[in-house]
Structure formats: structure tokens, C-alpha cells
Amino acid sequence: MFFRIATDGTQIRIPLEGAYSGPTRTGCWIIGGGPSLSDLPTQRIAATPIPRFSINLAGHRILRPNFWTAYDPTGRFLRSTYLDPSIVKFIPRGRAMDVVPGTTSKVCDSPNTVFFDRDHAVGFNDFLSPFTSANSQEPQRRHEAVTDWQDSLVQAIHLAWSIGFRKLYLAGCDMHVAPGPEWILEAHAAGVTYVPRELLREFHRRCVDAGMDLSKCGAATTTRQYHFDESKPLSAAIQTDLHYFRVAQYLRLSRRAMALAGLELISVTPGSRLNDYFPYQSVETVAKHIAAEVGNPQQETTRGLYTEQVQRVPPGLGPMRDYRPHHWPKTSANSRAASPSHLSRKERLAQLAAEVKDIPVPIREEG
């Protein structure tokens, strides 16, 4: 599914599928570019022991990502993102031969960069699913590609799921463009009230119907679009808001598919359109949950770990045993070869009884 590309077109597979999975559902922050990110406790997010997956320009000067992806053309993004070897960059195949902004290098030359194909034929029922049974009696394996619904958030969700994350915390994903306070005040004076998260197009229409001259009130410069220094004209902001609405509905309609795939979306963005359809938790609540599940690097102590010989197990833990499945041969605990076919059922049971024994779990830490 993932691969590197050289400037001569040579392609090398990178086996990343499931690489970040664990014994429980591993978590990852998804960082969007919404204006709310400026108001979140981003230092708390940065201190949590799980990675950050940023989209487009999201997190600029606030949070440095561990993973990054983008849907739009290469020239819209930052040189320091492409050339930072500490960031794993997931980029569509078609961008491989673009030039990194401000350089003479190709994107495929960038360090720690992997590419993927996109699939626009994915539906709500098979979002994230590697199989499809459309027009066939037997399930068929889908082409290993990332869902292409013309949106970077959907792309990031599929990528994060593909490499093993099963719990995604969405920060800065407002999924709507709100009018600025001056526009809202002027509209109120004209008898128009803004309803939170309503379509910007509808609010704009009601303002025009009320006789407001939006070209004079500066509405285009007062819409809050991003947490970083960038803005779009009012007409483009209206279209962006419609796009956000559409994607929010796409994700709502894909909830069953995500549940079947074992993926949980949790919003940590106050006022997001997604909060109508997915659970919302504060950053503080999420951080406490992560600390309880993974550990708290700020509170973990190191004194005695190299000198004291102790068994660091949870209090009250019962006995643990390692077993080998009955079809594994006795000579190798890691082989999945079938049991010898010449053995009778009675002989196989006797062999199983001889193999099953208590295996002490190694607890001792070595420095």
C-alpha cells in the first residue's frame, strides 16, 4: 500500500500497514487547521505520549507533527515540512515529481516520505474496508489505496487507520467557517441572527435579503477560517464551508463502516460540526485517559530502575501462562505449520498434553 519513489520512477514497497498497532487500540491526534486550535491547550496535546498527525498547514507554529499529509498541490505547503526528516510524510503518487517549494529537489527526494495511490470509488459501506463484494458472489480484495473523497481529513483518517491507529482525537477540526464578530454584530443590528454552525451560505443569504451591503461591512476579511495567517475571499469561504459540511455528512454516513473497522473518532474541538455525530471530550479528559493507558512521561520516576531487582507488575495480578496452539509443531513455538497428518487424534491430544505447561513470563528489566 505504501512505497517510496525515486526520481527515475523506481518504486520500493514500505511495509507500514498496522505498524503502529498495539495490544489495545492505539491513539493518535489528528490536527486540523481550524481557528479553534489557537484556543486549545496545545502544550497539553504536545506532552501526551501519542503522535500528532497534521493536515495541510495545520499546527503551524503551534504543534510540530509526527505524521503529515495533504491533498492539495505541493506549492501550497511548507519547505520545512517536506525536508524535516523527523516527520513521516504521506503523499499521493501524483505529487512525487513536484518540486519542493523553495528548492530544486523533487518531493520524492524528501526524507521519510512515502507515497500511496488513491481510490475515488470507495462508498460509505466500505470505507476503510479492504474487501468489497459488489457485483460478485465472493468478496474480492480492493486495490490497496486510500479513499479519495477530495478531502485531506478523510485522507488522514484512512492513512492513520491503515498504519494501525484505532482511536483518533480530532483537534482543530471545526468543519465550518464562522463569520467574524463584527459581521455578526452588524447582522444583528439588521435583524439577522447567526445560528452556530449554520451554513455560511444561508447566513450570507439572509444578510443580503435584509438589505446589508456586505461589500462595505468587510465581511470577507472577518470570517474566521484558520488558526494560522491565511484567509480566503468571502465567495471562497462560502464554498469551503459547504465542503466542510459535505465531509461531515460523509463521515456521519460512514459510522457503521468505521465501527466495523474498529475505528473510533473522538472530537476534542469545541463547536465542531462533527460533535453532532461523534463523541466530544475535552483535551484534559483525553490527556488523562492517555496517561492512564500509556503512562505519564512527566510523572514516571527512574530512580532505582537500574539498581533494584523488582518485578514491576500491576498489583493483584493473577498468574499468566504462555501457550502454543495445538497445531504448532513441538520443535518451534513460532511456526504455524500444521500438525503432522500421520498422527491419530489420540496421539495429537497426547502431544498437546505434553506440550502445554506453565511458561513463566519474563518480567525482569535489563539496563
Whether 147 is covered by a domain: the verdict is yes
Question: What is the DSSP track for 69-131?
Answer: E--S-GGGS-HHHHH-TTSEEEEEGGGTTSBPTTSS-BGGGSTTEEEE-EETT--STTTT-SE
Residue with cell 494560522: 228
Could you give the maximum distance between any two Cα atoms of the chain, in Å?
90
Question: What's the rounded mean pLDDT across residues 12-16?
Answer: 96
Question: What's the rounded mean pLDDT across residues 177-206?
Answer: 93
Q: Which of 169-173, 198-202, 307-311 has the lowest mean pLDDT?
A: 307-311
Q: What is the pLDDT of residues 48-76, one digit of tens each?
A: 999 999 999 999 999 999 999 999 999 99
The residues, ordered by sequence, that sit 6+ positions from 114 with a Cβ below 8 Å of its Cβ are 2, 3, 4, 14, 16, 88, 89, 90, 91
Whether 145 is covered by a domain: the verdict is yes
Total of domains in the chain: 3
Compute the CA torsion angle 213, 215, 218, 220 (nearest 10 deg). 120
pLDDT value at 137 more than 70: no
Whether 32 is covered by a domain: the verdict is yes
Residue 49's domain comprises 3-176+240-294
pLDDT value at 85 more than 90: yes
Whether 345 and 264 share a structural domain = no
Band the pLDDT of 111: cuts 50, 70, 90.
Answer: very high
Whether 46 and 163 share a structural domain = yes
Q: Which of 90, 57, 237 is nearest to 163 (CA)?
A: 90
Question: What's the rounded mean pLDDT across residues 304-308?
Answer: 88
Whether 197 and 290 share a structural domain = no
CA distance 276 to 253: 13
Q: Are 27 and 16 in contact (CB under 8 A)?
A: no
Whether 171 is covered by a domain: the verdict is yes
Whether 359 is covered by a domain: the verdict is yes
Q: What is the pLDDT of residues 322-341, one digit of tens each?
A: 888 877 666 554 444 444 55
Whether 304 is covered by a domain: the verdict is no
Question: What's the rounded mean pLDDT across residues 135-159?
Answer: 81
Whether 232 is covered by a domain: the verdict is no
Q: What is the pLDDT of residues 204-240, one digit of tens each?
A: 999 999 999 887 655 555 678 999 999 888 889 999 9
